[in-house]
């Protein structure tokens, strides 16, 4: 059984996003990310690239367990026991694992890739001795409804009516103990939906439909917890111009998609689906080996050529332009600077030094 390691602390304000924005938008080498791309339709959703992806990364080490989630979304811990959660796009279980470890929630997880579901089960079995509050299923929420056992048509209609009341301030909040009155096989919807680095992999024109499907199975007063790639993330800046297939939308060499969100885009997408905004912000994280650290390293490397030495004159007045000769002149210069030419013995130097320990201090 794998040793449990929790996140020590949660970072989201390591730097100001406006600072990153100014750097990117004033760097000519990144200009291809900024201008609007001619309107073109994204590739149709296809699970095969993700099937292939999870087959290639079958060790499960490609994604690290997201231990920060319970600190980022404390509602997952403070909610009532046996609250129902639907993790959409579970991948290899990097989001599901910390939730199962840190809460008593009933967790349902889906992915468009059956290969991903196999990886998820393997990683959970490795990390947790016994699990009776987890169920996974295959579903592509960008083009299919969630199965009826998550929320049947009767529950969906019931939720819609109660959500209308919630918008008018008449709802009592999350109904943890709600049960479907028509089908014993229906779990009666969920209290939480998590979309963690999932929506960015959906074609942009399919996003509204996908979000509305999440809204449809969420109980009145329930929460959707969202985290994904933000605009000017280092992952975005690494893409070559030919990988760009739309405005802020890219395709990787393996055929998987990646979109990069600004706050206004997120706000519009979720409001149009019927959600009420509770909290929305950029998470700006800079850590060892993280995307943002790589960005700052990249910016430093781009500026180095501006201060390079192209010629140097030695002590005899000879000008050198070749790299080897410039290096030799610099080496001789600094060697002379830090090599003493008139050395004295320690006995001669000590009496001239200021006394920091006085006779008075010695008597204490």
CA dist list (Å): 158 to 179, 302, 335:
11, 57, 82
CA nearest 50: which of 122, 140, 125, 144?
140
Go through the chain and tell me how many residues it has: 364
- d(Cα 265, Cα 282) in Å, to the nearest integer? 12
Query: In terms of CATH architecture, what is 17-302?
Result: 3-Layer(aba) Sandwich (3.40)
Among 32-41, 59-68, 128-137, 173-182, which is the least confidently predicted range?
Answer: 173-182
Question: Does 270 have pLDDT greater than 90?
Answer: yes
Q: Is-contact 156 162, C-beta < 8 A?
A: no
Q: Which residue has the higher pLDDT, 336 or 308?
A: 336
Q: Mean pLDDT over residues 189-211, rounded?
A: 94
Tell me what pLDDT residue 359 has.
Answer: 56
pLDDT band at 25 (very low <50, low <70, confident <90, very high): very high
Q: What is the mean pLDDT of the chain?
A: 78
Q: Residue 109 has what pLDDT?
A: 96
Of 70-79, 206-215, 316-325, the poorest mean pLDDT is in: 316-325
pLDDT greater than 90 at residue 10: no
* Mean pLDDT in residue range 143-150: 94
Q: Residue 178: its pLDDT value, please?
A: 75
Cβ-Cβ contacts under 8 Å for 32 (sequence gap 6 or more): 241, 244
Higher pLDDT: 346 or 119? It is 119
pLDDT of 172 strictly over 60? no
| Nearest Cα residue to 24 out of 291, 306, 307 | 291
Domain ranges of the chain: 17-302, 309-363
pLDDT tens, residue by residue, 51-109: 666 667 666 556 678 888 888 899 998 888 889 999 999 988 889 999 999 888 999 99
pLDDT of residue 63: 61
Please state the rounded mean pLDDT for residues 331-345.
Answer: 55
pLDDT tops 50 at residue 157: yes
Q: What is the pLDDT at residue 64? A: 78
Q: Is residue 298 scored above 80 in pLDDT?
A: no
pTM score of the predicted model: 0.72
pLDDT higher than 70, residue 309 = no
Q: At 189, is the pLDDT very low, low, confident or very high (cuts 50, 70, 90)?
A: very high
The conformation of residue 262, written as its DSSP 8-state character, comes to -
Res 254: pLDDT? 84
Q: What percent of the chain has pLDDT over 90?
A: 41
Residue 138 has pLDDT above 90, yes or no: yes
243-252, 265-274, 286-295, 332-341, range with the lowest pLDDT: 286-295
Lowest mean pLDDT among 154-163, 182-191, 339-348: 339-348
Asked if 96 contacts 120 with a C-beta cutoff of 8 angstroms, the reply is yes
- In this prediction, residues 137-156 reach a mean pLDDT of 94
Instruction: Tell me whether residue 213 is exposed, middle or buried, using C-beta atoms within 10 angstroms of its C-beta: 0 to 12, 13 to 18, 19 or more.
Output: buried
């Amino acid at each position: 059984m794998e040793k449990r390691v929790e996140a020590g602390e949660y970072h989201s304000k390591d730097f100001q996003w406006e600072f990153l924005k100014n750097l990117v938008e004033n760097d000519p080498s990144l200009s291809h990310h900024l201008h609007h791309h001619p309107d073109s339709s994204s590739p149709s959703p296809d699970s095969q690239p993700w099937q292939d992806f999870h087959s290639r990364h079958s060790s499960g080490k490609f994604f690290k367990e997201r231990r920060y989630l319970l600190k980022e979304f404390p509602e997952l811990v403070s909610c009532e026991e046996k609250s129902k959660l639907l993790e959409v796009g579970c991948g290899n279980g990097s989001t599901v694992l910390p939730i199962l470890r840190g809460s008593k929630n009933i967790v349902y997880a889906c992915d468009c890739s059956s290969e991903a579901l196999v990886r998820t089960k393997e990683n959970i079995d490795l990390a947790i001795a016994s699990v009776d509050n987890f169920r996974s299923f295959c579903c592509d929420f960008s083009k299919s409804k969630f199965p009826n056992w998550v929320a049947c048509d009767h529950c969906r209609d019931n939720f819609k009516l109660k959500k209308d009341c919630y918008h008018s301030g008449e709802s009592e909040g999350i109904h943890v103990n709600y049960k479907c009155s028509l089908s014993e096989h229906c779990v009666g919807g969920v209290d939480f939906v998590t979309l963690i680095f999932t929506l960015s992999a959906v074609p942009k024109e399919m996003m509204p439909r996908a979000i509305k499907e999440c809204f449809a199975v969420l109980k009145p007063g329930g929460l959707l917890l969202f985290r994904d790639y933000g605009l000017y993330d280092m992952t975005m800046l690494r893409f070559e111009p030919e990988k760009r297939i739309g405005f802020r939308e890219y395709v990787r060499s393996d055929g998987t998609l990646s979109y990069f969100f600004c706050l206004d885009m997120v706000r519009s997408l979720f409001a149009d689906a019927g959600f009420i905004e509770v909290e929305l912000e950029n998470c700006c994280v800079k850590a060892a080996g993280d995307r943002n650290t790589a960005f700052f390293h990249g910016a430093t490397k781009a500026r180095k050529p501006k201060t390079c030495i192209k010629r140097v004159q030695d002590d005899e007045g000879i000008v050198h332009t070749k790299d080897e000769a410039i290096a030799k002149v610099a080496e001789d210069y600094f060697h002379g600077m830090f090599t003493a030419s008139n050395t004295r013995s320690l006995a001669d130097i000590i009496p001239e030094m200021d006394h920091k320990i006085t006779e008075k201090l010695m008597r204490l």
